[in-house]
Amino acid sequence: MDSSLSTSAAATGGGNGVTIPQSNDPSPMESSATNAATPTDDSKQNLTLVINSIQKTLGILHQLYLTVSSYNVASQLPLLQRMNNLVLELDNMTKLAENCNIQVPMEVLNLIDDGKNPDEFTRDVLNSCIAKNQITKGKTDTFKGLRRHLLEELEQTFPDEVEAYRDIRAASAAETKRFAQGQSTLPNGDAKVKTEI
């Protein structure tokens, strides 16, 4: 075998046509030791480590497939090495996954088991929320229209009572606004105010 080919194969990570990218960048573990990170950065980093471990496991499984599909006596040692690598990487993945707290809805897992795309679940949930939102908005608009219509009719029939009602309503809204401002002050002293329409 040509020596340049063997060094090339060693540099790319092995045989069977699988290349393992080499990088001079520090690993995520080394970079986390040098940077102070927030909890969200840590969870993203943990997730990234698990994803990288999954991708590495898939690469090892592919190498195993190639080794097994062209098995002969001479490939027994590489097969055993790849089996050991798979076991080590699965163990590493399990340890890394303990640091990730990800909750996946059962519906998503059922869709995956059925061979469907999990994005369908997200799309269905969003479409359902949009439909329910439109129904609720329609009901709210209908009640606003009914209230406005009733006030117009009442104002024509009982103008004094409607004026008194509006005064009471305005006083009540002002009192509610003052109470809300007292309850919802921000740490910097600002107040959260929701204006009424």
Residue 105, φ and ψ in degrees, nearest 5? -60, 145
pLDDT tens digits for range 106-119: 888 888 899 888 88
- pLDDT (mean) for 42-56: 89
Separation CA 121–CA 127 (nearest Å): 10
pLDDT tens digits for range 80-139: 999 999 999 999 999 988 888 888 888 888 888 998 888 888 898 899 999 999 999 999
55 — pLDDT class (breaks 50, 70, 90)? very high
- pLDDT (mean) for 47-63: 92
pLDDT of residue 127: 95
More reliable by pLDDT, 179 or 56: 56
pLDDT of residue 180: 77
Q: What is the pTM of this model?
A: 0.42
User: For every residue of 132-174, which 3-state class applies, written as one string?
Assistant: HHHHHHHHHHHHHHHHHHHHHHHHHHCHHHHHHHHHHHHHHHH
- pLDDT (mean) for 145-174: 93
- Check pLDDT > 50 for residue 29: no
Counting residues of the chain whose pLDDT is more than 90, the rounded percentage is 41
CA dihedral over 149, 153, 155, 156, signed as positive or negative: positive
> Which range is most confident: 25-29, 168-172, 178-182, 186-190?
168-172
